[in-house]
């Protein structure tokens, strides 16, 4: 029996930002279709230069190459992994028994316009050993946040909402840039059978923008329940739907289950680096499903809650918050 492949297009963001009304509508329709189908797209012409991407990964690799003692200076368990360094063994995919084979560093929102929401956000950890790391990651954060806002505007149009529907919620939102090191597996025989780089999971936030992962390994679970490898150029941005957008749209836009698999045995002793940007709204955003996404054929699936309440629930489920 033939199984239809999911629709994972490569879209030109420049055609939306700078295009005609017709081009913007086409981009919005294709983005919505993909998010309704596979939950993933790849984005080109996004305004992040290859030079900056290369600088980002050089600094990410240098940061993780610091000694364990140096990195642990920046680990603050009371922040539930939301800022600074998180060592291996701390994050477990929802429902999994074994922690992911990774370590990571998180950078959050920096409020500069006097918005009172600044009091909600802890300060970012400043990496003293690598000053360029702080500069480059901040620039990447701002560029990906800007791209994310354009993508949410396109989604608004697809959903029949005002084009600026999400703007008030994501201005100074609780977004996170995460640098991830999937470290070498020196002795494959010594790890549990179910240990993987990132267990099957869905992202918590509205949308995720992943730029320039250093190796293959990302796979998505298709509607026909098969794992499909995501192939993207180093310069592309991979974008997927998170659970908050799924809740808001009552599953019209689907949060796709994905994972990062272990490499073939001959590559087990190599690292993989990845830098996703998790676009979150402000904690007060109401995630109650849109009335336009509920009808007799699509009854309401989710209890009402705010973005802040949902984030807190999920951080506890994955072991970062006690």
Compute the C-alpha angle 204/92/88, nearest 5°: 115
Q: Is residue 322 part of a domain?
A: no
Q: Is residue 128 part of a domain?
A: yes
Q: Is residue 2 part of a domain?
A: no
The mean pLDDT of 143-149, rounded to a whole number, is 97
pLDDT band at 267 (very low <50, low <70, confident <90, very high): confident
Residue 5: other Cβ atoms inside 10 A: 12
* pLDDT exceeds cutoff 60 at 5: no
pLDDT score recorded for residue 52: 96
pLDDT score recorded for residue 2: 41
CATH number of the domain to which 136 belongs: 2.60.120.330
Per-residue HEC secondary structure of 105-135 comes to: EEEECCCCCCCHHHHHCCCCCCCCCCHHHHH
The mean pLDDT of 91-120, rounded to a whole number, is 90
The CA distances from residue 215 to 35, 51, 148, 260, 265, in Å, are 24, 18, 23, 10, 15
pLDDT score recorded for residue 93: 76
The mean pLDDT of 260-286, rounded to a whole number, is 89
pLDDT score recorded for residue 3: 47
Q: Is residue 5 part of a domain?
A: no
Q: Is residue 207 part of a domain?
A: yes
**Alpha-carbon distance 84 to 62, whole Å?**
15
Residue 294 belongs to domain spanning: 10-317
- Higher-confidence residue of 226 and 4: namely 226
* pLDDT exceeds cutoff 70 at 214: no
Q: State the total domains in the chain.
A: 1
Q: Is residue 65 part of a domain?
A: yes
187 three-class SS: coil
* pLDDT exceeds cutoff 60 at 53: yes
pLDDT score recorded for residue 40: 86
**What tokens does 228 get?**
């499909």
Residue 58: other Cβ atoms inside 10 A: 14
pTM here is 0.93
pLDDT score recorded for residue 7: 60
Give the lowest-confidence range in 10-14, 98-102, 178-182, 231-235. Answer: 231-235
Q: Is residue 208 part of a domain?
A: yes
**Alpha-carbon distance 59 to 30, whole Å?**
34
The CA distances from residue 240 to 41, 117, 199, 278, 318, in Å, are 7, 27, 17, 10, 19
Of 256, 194, 255, nearest in space to 230 by CA: 256
pLDDT score recorded for residue 215: 59
Residues forming a β-bridge with 238: 42, 210
Q: Is residue 4 part of a domain?
A: no
The mean pLDDT of 91-116, rounded to a whole number, is 90
Q: What is the pLDDT of residues 73-85, one digit of tens each?
A: 999 999 988 999 9
């Amino acid at each position: 029996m033939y199984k239809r492949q999911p629709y994972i297009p490569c879209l030109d963001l420049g055609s939306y930002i700078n295009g005609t009304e017709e081009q913007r509508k086409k981009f919005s329709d294709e983005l919505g279709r993909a998010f309704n189908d596979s939950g993933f797209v790849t984005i080109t012409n996004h305004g992040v230069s290859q030079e900056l991407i290369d600088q980002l990964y050089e600094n990410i690799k240098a940061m993780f190459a610091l000694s364990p003692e140096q990195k642990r200076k920046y680990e603050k368990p009371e922040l539930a992994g939301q800022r600074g360094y998180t060592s291996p063994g701390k994050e477990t995919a929802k429902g999994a028994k074994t922690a992911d084979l990774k370590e990571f560093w998180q950078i959050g929102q920096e409020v500069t316009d006097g918005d009172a929401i600044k009091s909600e956000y802890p300060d970012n950890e400043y990496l003293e050993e690598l000053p360029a790391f702080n500069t480059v990651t901040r620039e990447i954060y701002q560029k990906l946040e800007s791209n994310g806002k354009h993508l949410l505007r396109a989604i608004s149009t697809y959903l029949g909402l005002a084009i600026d529907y999400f703007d008030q919620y994501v201005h100074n939102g609780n977004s996170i840039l995460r640098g991830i090191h999937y470290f070498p597996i020196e002795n494959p025989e010594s790890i549990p059978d179910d240990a993987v780089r990132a267990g099957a999971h869905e992202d918590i936030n509205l949308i995720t923008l992943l730029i320039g992962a250093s190796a293959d390994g990302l796979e998505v679970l298709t509607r026909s329940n098969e794992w499909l490898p995501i192939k993207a150029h180093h310069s592309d941005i991979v974008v997927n739907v998170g659970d908050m957008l799924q809740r808001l749209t009552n599953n019209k836009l689907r949060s796709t289950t994905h994972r990062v698999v272990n490499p073939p045995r001959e590559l087990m002793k190599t690292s993989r680096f990845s830098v996703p940007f998790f676009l979150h709204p402000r904690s007060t955003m109401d995630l109650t499903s849109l009335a336009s996404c509920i009808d007799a054929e699509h009854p309401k699936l989710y209890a009402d809650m705010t973005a802040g309440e949902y984030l807190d629930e999920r951080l506890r489920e994955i072991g970062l918050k006690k």
